[in-house]
Each structure stands twice: as C-alpha cells, then as structure tokens.
Structure 1
Amino acid sequence: MEEPRGKNKVIITGSTGMVGEGVLIQCLKSAEIDSVLVINRKTCGYAHPKLKEIIHKDFFDFSSIEQHLSSYNACFFCLGISSVGVADDVYFKMTYTLTMHVAQTLSKLNNAMTFCYVSGSGTNKNGRLKWQKVKGDTETDLYQLPFEQVFNFRPGFIKPIPGQKFAHKFYKYINWMFPLGRKFFPNGFCTMEELGDAMINTLKHHNERKILEGKDIIALARQGT
C-alpha cells in the first residue's frame, strides 16, 4: 500500500523574473505542492489560495523574516542577474554571496530541505569565463550545506509559458527557433513547464546531490507522467 504523501511546502525566490514566475505557475497548478511562499523585493502580482508573499528588500539579511521561513521542505532558487556589463565584484556579490546567504539561512531553519538552484548551461568552476567560475563555485558550495538534497539546474534556452508577465520581450521574436533547437540541440532547449515540473519532481527523491543538464531536466519532468 502506498504511504500517504507528506505536505510539500515550497519557497520560491525570483518570481518577478521569467524563470521564477514560470516555476511559480507550475507549483500553483501542481497537486504535489500544498503551499508556496515567494520572497520578493516587489510584488509578483499573483494571488492564489496556497500562495503567500513576503516583500523584503535586503536579501543579504533575512534576520527580520526568519520566523516566517521554517517548516518548508524545498526552496526553488530562481534569483539571479546577467554578467553582461556588470563589474566582477558586483556579479560575485549578487550571485555567490546572495545565494549562499539565503541557502545558509534556510538550511539552518529547515530540516530535510531540498534546494534547487538555477545556474545555467555552460556553468563550470574551471571554465574560462568569470560567470562560469562564480556559478560553478556556487554549485559546489551548496553541496556542503546540510540540506537533504541539492539539485543544480543548468537550462539553456527556455521556452516561456504563454502569457507570462515577466518573460523577456525578445522571446516572442525567437520562439520560432525552439522546435529546430529541440531537434538538433536537445540538451540546450527545454520548456518552462518542464523546468518547473522537474523541480517539483525532485521532491520524490531522497538524499541526492547532482547537476541537471537540459536532457536531465526534460527526463525528470516526465517522471510520473
């Protein structure tokens, strides 16, 4: 006989960006997710019976909201900035330092938490480019925290969900590329639905620490379908 499913309570960061918004949409639709907390600097503009939102300006200091961050079993971390035109020290602070502060806080407050981090295709701590190394170091150091699980997601081109409010405008001009890219470069192309569903399906696993490239994201999204 199948054991009763435990309650899945998820924290999402970055839901005012395309990736975080897409993951939020999938979580709100999913019967596997019982409640969602989003932490943003400005409102995401979504309302739903299982959604709570905290507006918090300083992601480098969660001390004033720590009392609201316990009893969650997952964090889907979708917050990040592009390295284009950004000074190295600023990029390091907004990528490595910020991510690790949030992760360290949540690992302290929540036992048996799954942490999903969106880094990106090409991440490599031994890579030539600064952003590759910073994200690679972030991935590696997340493994050292006392989470039950850590999954580092490395999507490439992500096709947004129709109607997303925070999708980059240029996607409407290049979405025609998706079928061709999926056919010839399947490891670099996934849909936003697949990325969100793959994160949700990590909660069916136990005690794993791994990197998920494009093909892995698609395969994990299809588990149980």
Structure 2
Amino acid sequence: MSFTLLIAGATGLIGKKTLELALADPSINKVIAPVRKKLPDHPKLEQWVDSDFAKALRPGKADAVICCLGTTIKKAGSKEAFRHVDHDLVITLGKWAKENGVGTFCVVSSMGADAGSSIFYNKVKGEMERDLFALQLPTLHIFHPSILKGPREAVRIGERIGIAAMSAFSFITPDNYKPMPYDTLAKALISASKIKTSGTYTYRKIFELAGR
C-alpha cells in the first residue's frame, strides 16, 4: 500500500530532521514539502515552491500531514507576525487537509499551550489547538515537547541556559520539562503519522512513539 506524507516547515530544526527520516523510510512512498525555496532533489520528494505558504498549497492527495510550522516573536518581528505563523498558517494547513481528504494530521505545539493563558506564546498555541479540534479532522495528533536539544541556526541564549540547567538537575526535573533530543520528536512524528487513533503526546509518550 502506498503512503504519501506532507511535511510543512521542512526547513526548520524539527521539520528538516522529519523530512530526512521520511525520505529514508521505505514505508513512505512519497513526501510532499510546501517550501519557500527549493530543496535538494530526491526521487521521493515533491516540492511545492512559493514564497507565500498558503499559495504553495495546491489540490493534492496525502495520507498524512506533519506540521512543524513555528517561529519566535523575535524572529518573526512582532506578536502579530508570530501569530500568523504559529496559528494562522497551521489552521490554513488544517483546512487544506480537511478539504483534500487527509486522514491523519500531526502538529508540534508546546508545553503549556492554553487558549486562556495570560502568556502570549502559550495562548497562541492553545488557540491553534482549539481551532484545529474545531475542524474535526479524522485523526489529530498533538505534540507537547519540552525544550529541544539540537543544532539551531539562531542562537537562543535563554534556551541554552535552560537546557544546561535542566540537564544538570534532570534527576529532580519533572519528565515533561526535561530537554528532549530533536531527533526523538522527529521519529515520534513519523510514527504518529501512521496511527489512526488521535492522541496528545508529552515527554514519555513521545519517547515511546520514537522507539516504535
């Protein structure tokens, strides 16, 4: 049976690793990547290139979607621009999945996501989850990873300090807040894309999925 996977955010830390794993997975026959700039060619990779993400999406068939879209307020330049990426574009992708009959939708959210939160970041993530649920997608997998350990193009001093501190005191740090290797999350996303029962995943469940 053929399996087609669409990966959004394929140039970021998580998306890039997820794309790498998907292309190497013999059970995945085709990978679709909506991107702003063309990636290196691969026999299994179909690229939808457009500087506007919404315009890059076109009618197509996929068995599952993995959404790794995300930015920071600093990188985006404003709260409004951050919300556009972390909420609006994710919901645009969710609507595309619904309209094109995609069976499984996986999305990377965040610990603390809460539409009622007074913390802007958590509030946006919570609203994104709420609005995805409202689409009533056949299968929805939501991931709440802790701080991710991995190579980043942008240096985030606060994150590095947090990773170092939580790693040093991992014996007393609650599981859900322990630093997580970025490739562990990528492996879990690939596994979830093949599961037809909706779920929400935090630290332990993410590691369990990654080990499948």
State TM-score, norm by structure 1: 0.79
> Residues 137-216 of structure 1: matches in 2 within 5 Å?
137-160=127-150, 167-168=152-153, 170=155, 174=160, 177=164, 180=168, 183-185=171-173, 186-188=175-177, 189-208=179-198, 210-216=199-205
How far apart, CA to CA, are the structure 1 residues paired with 2:81 and 2:38? Answer: 24
Which of 1, 7, 13 is the matching residue for 2:2? 7
In 2, are the aligned partners of 1:96 and 1:134 still within 8 Å (CA)?
yes
Residue 169 of structure 1 deviates from its aligned partner by: 5.2
How far apart, CA to CA, are the structure 2 residues paired with 1:42 and 1:182? Answer: 39
- Identity among equivalent pairs (%): 23
Give the partner amino acid of 1:211. T
Residue 137 of structure 1 deviates from its aligned partner by: 0.9
1:93 is matched with which residue? 84
State the Cα RMSD in Å.
2.7
Task: Label 1:52 to 1:222 Cα distance change in 2 as closer, same or farther (>3 A).
Answer: same
How far apart, CA to CA, are the structure 2 residues paired with 1:57 and 1:133? Answer: 27
In 1, are the aligned partners of 2:35 and 2:49 still within 8 Å (CA)?
yes
| Structure 1 unaligned regions, length at least 5 | 1-5
Q: Could you list the per-position Cα deviations for residues 50-107 of structure 1 after superposition, in whole angstroms to 9, with x for gaps in the alignment?
A: 1121211222345xx523xx22011111112112474333322222222111210221
1:3 is matched with which residue? none
How far apart, CA to CA, are the structure 2 residues paired with 1:158 and 1:183? Answer: 18
1:22 to 2:22 alignment: no
Count, aligned residues: 206
Give the partner amino acid of 1:194. T
Question: Which secondary structure does the structure 2 equivalent of 1:143 belong to?
Answer: helix
How far apart, CA to CA, are the structure 2 residues paired with 1:136 and 1:14? Answer: 19
In 1, are the aligned partners of 2:61 and 2:101 still within 8 Å (CA)?
yes
Question: Which secondary structure does the structure 2 equivalent of 1:152 belong to?
Answer: strand
How far apart, CA to CA, are the structure 2 residues paired with 1:104 and 1:42? Answer: 23
Task: Label 1:204 to 1:181 Cα distance change in 2 as closer, same or farther (>3 A).
Answer: farther
Question: Which secondary structure does the structure 1 equivalent of 2:65 belong to?
Answer: strand
Task: Label 1:97 to 1:169 Cα distance change in 2 as closer, same or farther (>3 A).
Answer: closer
1:56 is matched with which residue? 50
How far apart, CA to CA, are the structure 2 residues paired with 1:30 and 1:181? Answer: 36
Give the partner amino acid of 1:27. A
